[in-house]
Structure 1
Amino acid sequence: IFATNRFTIYAMYPDCNISIHVLWGLKRQNTAFAIGKSIVNRSSRTDVGALCLKYDGGGHRNAGTCQVEIAESRRVLDELISSITADG
């Protein structure tokens, strides 16, 4: 994620209050999730760092990352989305 481009999604979609980028982990050995809150729409109530910590990741209230086994990535993505949606 390029630092100059990571907030573009929120300018393009101002109703979006949080995003998840799905990336390859180190040497494509796992899947990384980079989660961040919008700087435009600040309505998300998710504590991103705490959410990522559940998957052995970390961060802070507004951004975080976690890495999971490739075989678990679909399930974890679904769980991340469910948790974020439930938080509002």
Structure 2
Amino acid sequence: MDSRRLQLLHDIMALEFVAIELNLYLDTHPTEQEPLNDYNLVTERLNQLKAQYERMYGPLVSYGFSPSEYPWRWIEDPWPWEIQF
């Protein structure tokens, strides 16, 4: 397995965790500007990493987020959740 691919998946999972935690915090503290700024920075970086991953390795999910090149790449193995760290 390509070490860059593993690192990108690891970074994406870490940023998703941070985004979820900030989202939960903001649900109970909606007027706090600093956590909102952090959330926006994290989600921007997360979207960049997801786009980079998909350019290099194909889609992270099978529908709704990015178009597919020809041929359809979703059926190529391994799927993101099958990759072992």
Alignment TM-score, normalising by the size of structure 1: 0.29
Alignment TM-score, normalising by the size of structure 2: 0.30
With CA pairs under 8 Å and 6+ residues apart, which has the higher RCO, 1 or 2? 2
Q: Would you tell me which structure has more helix in proportion to its own residues?
A: 2
Q: Would you tell me which structure has more strand in proportion to its own residues?
A: 1
Structure number with greater Rg is 2
